[in-house]
Every structure is written in C-alpha cells, then in structure tokens.
Amino acid sequence: MVEANENKTDTEVLYGIEQTVATITLNRPERMNTISGPMLNQLAVALRRADDDPAVRVVVLTGSGRAFCAGLDIRGQTEGTKSDTNISDGVAGATTIDLNRTPPTVLHEMDTPVICAMNGSAAGYGMDLALGCDIRLMADTAKLAAAFTKRGILPESGGTWILPRLIGWSKAAEIIFTGRTLSAEECLDLGLVSRTVPKDRLADEARNLAAEIADNAPLAVQASKRMMRMGLSEQFPDHVHHVFLQLMPLFKSEDCREGMMAFLEKRKPVFKGR
C-alpha cells in the first residue's frame, strides 16, 4: 500500500510507503531538486519519520525529474525570494548553529538502512546527501560533482568526513580540491556506488534491493548498521565489546528464534521485528 504525503501538490519532499519500504523523493524537478530552506526541514522530518516507524525496514531516497539534487538553492539565496525561505535565516550573526536536526546528521544517525537511487546527477549538497546514504545505485547517465571549491565553499554537509573514509585520503583530496565532476563509470571504479544501471531500470533495481534487505530480520539489520557506524570511531577491543552487548538482546528476540527454526526446517523465515 502506498501512503500519501498528506498530499499537497507543491510539497517539495514526497513520502510514501509500500509494504516495508519507505520512498522519500526530492520533488523540485523544475529546479533540479535544489534544496530550499523549507525543503531542508521537510527532508529531515521525512527521514526521522521513516526511522521512527517500526513498519519501515528500508528507506529509498531518490529525486524526481532529470536530477537527483543539484545542491543548495543558490538562486533562491541570491534572489531572496519570499517563496523560498532563506537557508541561512537565523544563522547570520549566530555564534552557535544547531545541526542535530539537519538532514546529514539525521541521515548519519538513522538505524534504518537507506538506499540512494541516484536517478540523475548530484552536485554539492546533493553529493554529500548521496554519500551519506548506506548504499548508492546510480543511473549510468548521472554524474557526481564536487563543485564546492569552484563556488568558494567546502563540502558543508559531511563530505569531508565521508569521502576520505570511502575512497582514502589521496583520492578524496584530489576530488575535493579540484572540484571535479565524476561520471557514473568513474564513481563505480572508485567504489562510490554499488552499481550503475540504465535510468529506466533504476527504480526497479532499488526496489528489488530494498525488498531483499527487508526480508531479513530488521532488528539485526539495524544493529549491524549501528555497529558499523560506531566502528568508525572505536578501537577494535571496544568495538567487539559493544557488538557483544548488541548481540545479547538479539539472542532473546522472536526473530532470532524464527531465523534458527527456519534454517533447521529449510524454509524462508518470516520476521516480525520483535
């Protein structure tokens, strides 16, 4: 069943659920899904909504139209239109900025797996947003543009933290310092995406992968992601200890018993998330 988005036709972030998969769609195709001020909040709310919903086992993040996300709405910033709340509103002159409820932070802290279905090119903020997802599938016609230094800024939404961890310091430095644009083939070669597919097959590929993940025990999948995230900043002995603490309650779960019985009975398990 697909859930409507409390739907207004002008909603810039669409939210829908089909079975156990939530799809979040950036919906500003006339501006290549550039991120407006209201859109930042809508996206953060949608991500939190999916992560808080026990019925959602996987999230697919994608865009409408020909682009995934062309970055922050620079035109809206320079024009200062009333229709687009300025992204810097409330920031100028402030000595502290609360980033805990912004999309990159919410995305990083989510336990629910997130697949980015890059239907088109991603630049700037859009690139950081894609890199913040757990798995990336990319249309073979799309590009990834690290255009920050060409605009006089830096990757402001997690890119400087994520990219070196994905591909190593030297390659990350080359891409960020030059502001280079990468083809889908280059992204695949670097390991930035799991696979590239023809654009007309991307949605199906993302749904199939989401369904494959959703078939597994959701508590175990979420715990695995949580431990992978914690492992980025832990020493091995500390990490093993934390993994053991996560494992103990999983042993007591109904899903664990179901998984073991299904294996012994040579059948497909039916997990309920408890």
pLDDT in tens, 17-66: 999 999 999 999 999 999 988 899 999 999 999 999 999 999 999 999 99
Domain with CATH 1.10.12 in the chain: 218-264
- Where is average pLDDT lowest: 7-21, 88-102, 194-208, 253-267? 88-102
pLDDT at 153: 82
For residue 10, the model assigns a pLDDT of 54
Fold assignment, 218-264: Lyase 2-enoyl-coa Hydratase; Chain  A, domain 2 (1.10.12)
- Please give the class, per CATH, of domain 13-214: alpha beta
User: Is the predicted pLDDT of residue 9 greater than 80, yes or no?
Assistant: no
Residue spans in the chain of domains classed CATH 3.90.226.10: 13-214
pTM attached to this predicted model = 0.85
Mean predicted confidence (pLDDT) in 101-124 = 93
Confidence grade of residue 206 (pLDDT, cut at 50, 70, 90): very high
Closest CA to 214 of 170, 270, 267: 270
> For the ranges 28-37, 81-90, 238-247, which has the lowest average pLDDT?
81-90
Question: By mean pLDDT, which of 85-94, 141-150, 166-175 is the weakest?
Answer: 85-94
Helices (H), the chain: 37-52, 74-79, 103-109, 125-131, 159-167, 169-178, 184-190, 199-214, 218-231, 236-251, 254-264
Decide if pLDDT at 98 tops 80.
Answer: no
Higher pLDDT, 47 or 97: 47
Q: 82-91, 179-188, 204-213: which has the minimum mean pLDDT?
A: 82-91
Q: Are 108 and 132 in contact (CB under 8 A)?
A: yes
CA distance linking residue 274 with residue 254, whole number of Å = 6
Per-residue pLDDT at 93: 46
Mean pLDDT value across residues 152-178: 90
Strands 143-145 and 121-123: parallel
Q: Residue 157's pLDDT is what?
A: 82
What's residue 8's pLDDT? Answer: 43
| Rounded-to-5 percentages of helix, strand, coil across the chain | 45, 15, 40
